[in-house]
């Protein structure tokens, strides 16, 4: 087939293949055609992976079958469901060659021409490459089928693709066994008919863009332009300049984070990470270690403060077993990310191994990545773990260079005598440390499973441009850890409250941050995040809905 019009009209999505192998020269020519496709800013973001292994094909097929069943159950029309199940929507195991076309998000870490308006442009380039590959294969007498009915998160895991590599789907490649009467199979089977001609309409009317007026020329740099536009919008609401105080700062921060003049909080989520600590064996808490397990059960049953406040404010809640000293029965409401049954005491040795520390970052990242994939753009962090104020205090002392006495508080409510004993115990642990001074070595030696998983989750939230709600002292220490790995994360953070833990104010000063509330809270669980959330919604609401002087006809003088 050599006529371009004939190729373009030919059946695109093949589901029936012969057993003929795909010669190397055929696929290489097709991939070269893909490489010649338009690439925004010449990013070379499109990457290709070939699959010939029957074992891998079988595993991909299982992913397809799982999601295909979910797709069939989306309709209550039994006739339509039966017709859907009768369709052949893939040829993963039958096709001699599998192809995964990906786009590499890591190219966006550098200045990239053509992506300022939308990072999606690198995805569009990959789709252009897929089209070129199909054209080349068709011209050579072969064809391709595009499989997108997959759990993409599991698909990437199964193939071992790095986090920054995003697949368009799985493509079946081979010699077509039928031409489907030169029409799409869905059309041939009367599932859906393709219109004969494309939709085309000439736009003749120029529509006005947002009604922002500026008294001075805005710098053409996009980030500065948006910042000034947000400030102009805030200052020209029907109020004296600065009259809404912290709400104005929040509104501007959220607008800049979401890169819009009309930000919206979508599917807010709070995650409570729970774990036990070996240091609790040394009497640093007013409560026994088993309270961690008891409180996790309370969370799952909906009886804790965080449950009440999340329900009140319509916030999704997840509970994570990061390392509780207990084997919970299977429970759909509990996210299992257990590293071990609590850390070891760091009085005379490391709390965890380097491998366990790295696993904390992997699991914490995965949990928040799943939340981001649900569409959420706002995530709050909470914790539960008897002994974790001691762990947090030591981490603060090590990472900030403060004396341990400045970092230790009453935690769950120890008395004066216990407080002095707690200080001495933690000072002994610090004096005993003779390990390396790099960050990861210190985190493995003094860290807590839930604290490190929270830090990882915060870093993942930053990567997904999510608003990060930080709870009290322990969560702020997790944020401290995250900020040591990426200082830019501060742009995403809202510190919900300054807790009654005496070191929290000093830590916030170190982070050059201020909390929204000061209510003498010291409960943890993410309660501060849930309580502050209505204030965040108020900041967004006034920015989006409050009238300007111009629209209300009110004098600004």
Where are the chain's structural domains?
4-76+84-189, 265-536
Torsion sign across C-alpha atoms 470, 474, 480, 486: negative
pTM score, two decimals?
A: 0.61
Is 545 annotated in the active site?
A: no
> Which residues make Cβ contacts (< 8 Å) with residue 205, sequence separation at least 6?
none
Catalytic residue among 90, 94, 450, 525: 525
Which residue matches tokens 């589901």? Answer: 15
Torsion sign across C-alpha atoms 232, 233, 236, 242: negative
pLDDT, average across residues 531-547: 96
pLDDT digits (tens, 9 = 90+) for 284-299: 887 899 999 999 999 9
pLDDT, greater one: 430 or 4: 430
pLDDT, average across residues 107-125: 75
Q: What is the CATH number of domain 4-76+84-189?
A: 3.40.109.10
Q: Number of helices and strands (H, E) in the chain?
A: 20, 10
Q: How confident is the model at residue 221 (pLDDT cuts 50, 70, 90)?
A: very low
Whether 211 has a pLDDT exceeding 60, the answer reads no
When mean pLDDT is compared across 45-59, 72-86, 353-367, 495-509, the lowest value belongs to 72-86
User: What pLDDT is attached to residue 14?
Assistant: 86
User: What pLDDT is attached to residue 237?
Assistant: 93
As a whole number, the mean pLDDT across the chain is 88
Domain 265-536 fold: Rossmann fold (3.40.50)
At residue 184, φ and ψ (nearest 5 deg) are -55, 145
Q: How far is CA 447 from CA 50, 359, 440, 444, in A?
A: 41, 13, 10, 5
């Amino acid at each position: 087939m050599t006529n371009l019009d004939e190729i373009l009209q030919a059946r695109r999505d093949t589901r029936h293949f012969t057993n003929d192998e795909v010669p190397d020269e055929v696929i290489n020519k097709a991939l070269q055609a893909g490489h010649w496709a338009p690439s925004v800013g010449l990013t070379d973001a499109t990457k290709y992976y070939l699959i010939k292994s029957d074992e891998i094909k079988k595993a991909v097929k299982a992913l397809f079958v799982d999601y295909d069943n979910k797709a069939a159950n989306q309709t209550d029309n039994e006739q339509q469901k039966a017709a859907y199940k009768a369709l052949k929507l893939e040829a993963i195991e039958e096709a001699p060659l599998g192809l995964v076309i990906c786009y590499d998000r890591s190219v966006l870490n550098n200045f990239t021409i053509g992506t300022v308006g939308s990072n999606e442009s690198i995805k569009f380039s990959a789709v252009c490459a897929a089209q070129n590959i199909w054209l080349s294969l068709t011209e050579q007498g072969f064809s391709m089928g595009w499989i997108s009915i997959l759990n993409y998160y599991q698909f990437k895991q199964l193939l071992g693709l790095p986090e920054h590599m995003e697949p368009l789907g799985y493509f079946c490649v081979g010699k077509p066994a039928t031409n489907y009467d030169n029409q799409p199979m869905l059309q041939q089977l009367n599932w859906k008919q393709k219109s004969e001609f494309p939709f085309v309409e000439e736009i003749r009317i120029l529509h006005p863009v947002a009604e922002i007026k500026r008294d001075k020329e805005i710098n053409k740099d996009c980030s500065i332009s948006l910042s000034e536009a947000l400030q102009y919008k805030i200052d020209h609401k029907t109020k004296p300049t600065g009259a809404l105080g912290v709400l104005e700062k929040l509104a501007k921060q959220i607008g800049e984070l979401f890169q819009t003049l009309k930000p919206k909080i979508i599917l807010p989520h709070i995650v409570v990470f729970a774990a036990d600590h070996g240091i609790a064996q040394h009497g640093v808490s007013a409560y026994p270690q088993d309270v961690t397990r008891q409180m996790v059960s309370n969370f799952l049953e909906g009886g804790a403060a965080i449950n009440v406040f999340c329900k009140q404010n319509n916030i999704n809640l997840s509970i994570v077993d990061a390392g509780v000293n207990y084997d919970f029965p299977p429970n759909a409401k509990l996210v299992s990310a257990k590293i071990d049954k609590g850390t070891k005491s760091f009085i005379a040795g490391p709390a965890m191994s380097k491998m366990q520390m790295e696993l904390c970052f992997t699991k914490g990242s995965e949990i928040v990545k799943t939340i981001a994939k649900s569409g959420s753009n706002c995530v709050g962090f909470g914790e539960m773990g008897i002994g974790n104020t001691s762990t947090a205090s030591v981490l603060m002392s090590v990472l900030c260079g403060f004396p341990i006495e400045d970092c230790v508080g009453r935690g769950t409510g120890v008395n004066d005598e216990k407080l002095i004993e707690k200080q001495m115990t933690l000072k002994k642990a610090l004096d005993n440390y003779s390990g390396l001074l790099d960050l990861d070595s210190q985190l493995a030696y003094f860290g807590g499973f839930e604290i490190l998983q929270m830090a990882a989750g915060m870093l993942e939230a930053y990567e997904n441009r999510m608003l990060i709600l930080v709870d009290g002292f322990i969560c702020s220490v997790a944020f401290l850890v995250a900020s040591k790995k990426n200082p830019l994360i501060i742009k995403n953070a809202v510190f919900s409250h300054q807790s009654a833990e005496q070191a929290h104010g000093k830590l916030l000063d170190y982070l050059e941050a201020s909390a929204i509330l000061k209510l003498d809270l010291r409960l943890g669980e993410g309660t501060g995040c849930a309580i502050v959330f209505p204030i965040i919604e108020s900041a967004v609401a006034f920015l989006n809905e409050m009238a300007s002087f111009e629209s209300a006809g009110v004098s600004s003088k």
